[in-house]
C-alpha cells in the first residue's frame, strides 16, 4: 500500500490540481491542513470527490515537519507500506511517484528523495538564491548526516519504507523547515539506505513561506549539533576504530599548531623580531599533520555510507522471541506501536 502525505499551508489554489494528478498506484492520500488560514482542508472536502482522500487538521500550525509526521502516523495506523511526502503547492509532479518509490519497492533503499540537480532545465528555472543555498546546504548536510552520496537535501519529494518509519523517533524530529535535513540525520543514525531519484521541479506562481534570514541560524545550529552527535554516535558510542582516533588527534594537532602560530606571530608583531625557523616549524608541522589526519577521517567517512537496506533485512531472532513470548498488546499501547512512537 502506497500512501501520499500532503502537508498543506497556503496552497488552496494548487492542492486540487495536485490531487487530481496522483495516479492509481497510490492507495491513500492524507491531506494535512496545518492550521491553514485559507481553509485548505475545508476546500478539499468541499470540492474533491476522490475516495482515497482523507483530511487531517491541526488546531495550531506545527510546520511542514509536524504536518508530515501527522500524515505518517495516520498512514502507518492504516497499514501503509510506503509513505510518500508530496507538497501541495504544485512544485512536485505526482506522475514521478512510481519512479520515486521504485527503489523502495525493489528492496534497494529505505528512503528515496528527489534530486533536482541532475536536470539542467530545472536548474535554469530555479531562483538563483535558492540554487546557491541548496548547493551550500548539500555539502553541510553530507557532513551532518554521513550521506555523502546524496545531494539536494531540502527536496521535500520523498518516499519512506514503513518498517524504517516505525524505528524513527518522531517526537525528536524537527517540526519546521529543518525537517528533511533532521530526518536524514536520524536515518543515518539508524544506518538506513538513502538514494536520490532524478526528477524535475516545477516553478510557477506559488509563494514560499520560507523566510531566509530567519531560517539560516536554525539550519547552521541544527547541522552543527547533528554533526557532533553523528560523530559521537557513529565513532564512539556504537563503534570505535582508527577513524575515531584520527579525528580527535587531527583536531588537537591543528588547534595546537594554530595556537602556537598565532601566539608567536603576535609576539613578532609587538617586538619586531622575526620568529625563528624552528618556531615556524613548531607551528606548521602539527597543522600539516592534523590536516592529513582529518582528511584520513573524511576518507573513511566517505566509505562508511550505509549500503544494506534495513527494510530488506530479516528481523532480529531475539526480537522475534520477545514478541512471541510477550502478551498481546491492546488499546493505547497497540496504537502507539502502530504509529512508530
- Model pLDDT, residue 202: 66
pLDDT beneath 50: ranges in the chain: 317-341
If 0-12 CB within 10 Å is exposed, 13-18 middle and 19+ buried, where does residue 95 land? exposed
If 0-12 CB within 10 Å is exposed, 13-18 middle and 19+ buried, where does residue 272 land? exposed
- Model pLDDT, residue 338: 39
Handedness of CA 41, 42, 48, 53 (dihedral sign): positive
Helix axes 179-190, 63-77, angle to 10 degrees: 50
Q: How far apart are CA 253 and CA 257, in angstroms?
A: 6
* Contact status, residue 63 vs residue 175, Cβ threshold 8 Å: yes
**The three three-digit cell numbers of residue 237, written as one number:** 558510542
Q: In this structure, what is the dihedral angle of CA atoms 128, 133, 136, 141, given to the nearest 10 degrees?
A: -140
Tens-place pLDDT, residues 246-268: 999 999 999 999 999 999 999 99
Q: Hunting for cell 587531527 — which residue is that? A: 250
- Model pLDDT, residue 324: 41
- Model pLDDT, residue 129: 65
Q: How far apart are CA 100 and CA 10, in angstroms?
A: 25
- Cβ neighbors of 45 (< 8 A, separation 6 or more) are 55
Tens-place pLDDT, residues 117-169: 776 666 666 666 666 777 788 889 999 999 999 988 888 899 999 999 999 99
* Contact status, residue 113 vs residue 188, Cβ threshold 8 Å: no
Distances (CA, A) of 278 to 263, 281, 284, 290: 14, 5, 10, 18
pTM of the model as a whole: 0.83
Q: How far apart are CA 182 and CA 164, in angstroms?
A: 15
3-state secondary structure (DSSP) of residue 129: helix
**The three three-digit cell numbers of residue 14, written as one number:** 494548487
- Model pLDDT, residue 223: 93
Q: How far apart are CA 82 and CA 163, in angstroms?
A: 9
What residue spans of the chain are helical by DSSP H?
A: 12-20, 40-47, 63-77, 97-105, 120-125, 128-145, 162-165, 179-190, 212-232, 242-271, 277-302, 317-325, 331-338
**Cα end-to-end distance, the chain, whole Å:** 21
**The three three-digit cell numbers of residue 331, written as one number:** 488499546
Amino acid at each position: 500500500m502506497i500512501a501520499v502525505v500532503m502537508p498543506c499551508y497556503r496552497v488552496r489554489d494548487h492542492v486540487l490540481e495536485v490531487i487530481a494528478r496522483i495516479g492509481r498506484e497510490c492507495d491513500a492520500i492524507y491531506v494535512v491542513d496545518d492550521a491553514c488560514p485559507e481553509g485548505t482542508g475545508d476546500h478539499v472536502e468541499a470540492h474533491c470527490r476522490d475516495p482515497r482522500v482523507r483530511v487531517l487538521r491541526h488546531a495550531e500550525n506545527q510546520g511542514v515537519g509536524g504536518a508530515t509526521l501527522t500524515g505518517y502516523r495516520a498512514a502507518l495506523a492504516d497499514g501503509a507500506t510506503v509513505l510518500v511526502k508530496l507538497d501541495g503547492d504544485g512544485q512536485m509532479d505526482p506522475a514521478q511517484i512510481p519512479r520515486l518509490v521504485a527503489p523502495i519497492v525493489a528492496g534497494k533503499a529505505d528512503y528515496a528523495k528527489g534530486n533536482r540537480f541532475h536536470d539542467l532545465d530545472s536548474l535554469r528555472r530555479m531562483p538563483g538564491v535558492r540554487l546557491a543555498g541548496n548547493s551550500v546546504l548539500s555539502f553541510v548536510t553530507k557532513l551532518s548526516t554521513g550521506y555523502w552520496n546524496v545531494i539536494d537535501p531540502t527536496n521535500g519529494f520523498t518516499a519512506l519504507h514503513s518498517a524504517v518509519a516505525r524505528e524513527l523517533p518522531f517526537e525528536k524530529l524537527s517540526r519546521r523547515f529543518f525537517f528533511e535535513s533532521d530526518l536524514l540525520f536520524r536515518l543515518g543514525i539508524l544506518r538506513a539506505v538513502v538514494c536520490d531519484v532524478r526528477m524535475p521541479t516545477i516553478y510557477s506562481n506559488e509563494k514560499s513561506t520560507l523566510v531566509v534570514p530567519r531560517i539560516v541560524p536554525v539550519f547552521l545550529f541544527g547541522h552543527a549539533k547533528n554533526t557532533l552527535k553523528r560523530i559521537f554516535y557513529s565513532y564512539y558510542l556504537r563503534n570505535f576504530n582508527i577513524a575515531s582516533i584520527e579525528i580527535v588527534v587531527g583536531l588537537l594537532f591543528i588547534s595546537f599548531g594554530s595556537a602556537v602560530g598565532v601566539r608567536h606571530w603576535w609576539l613578532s608583531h609587538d617586538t619586531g623580531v622575526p620568529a625563528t625557523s624552528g618556531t615556524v616549524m613548531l607551528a606548521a608541522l602539527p597543522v600539516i599533520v592534523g590536516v592529513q589526519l582529518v582528511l584520513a577521517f573524511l576518507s573513511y567517512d566517505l566509505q562508511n555510507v550505509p549500503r544494506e537496506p534495513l527494510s530488506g533485512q530479516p528481523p532480529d531472532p531475539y526480537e522475534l522471541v520477545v514478541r512471541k513470548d510477550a502478551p498481546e498488546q491492546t488499546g493505547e499501547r497497540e496504537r502507539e506501536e502502530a504509529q512508530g512512537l
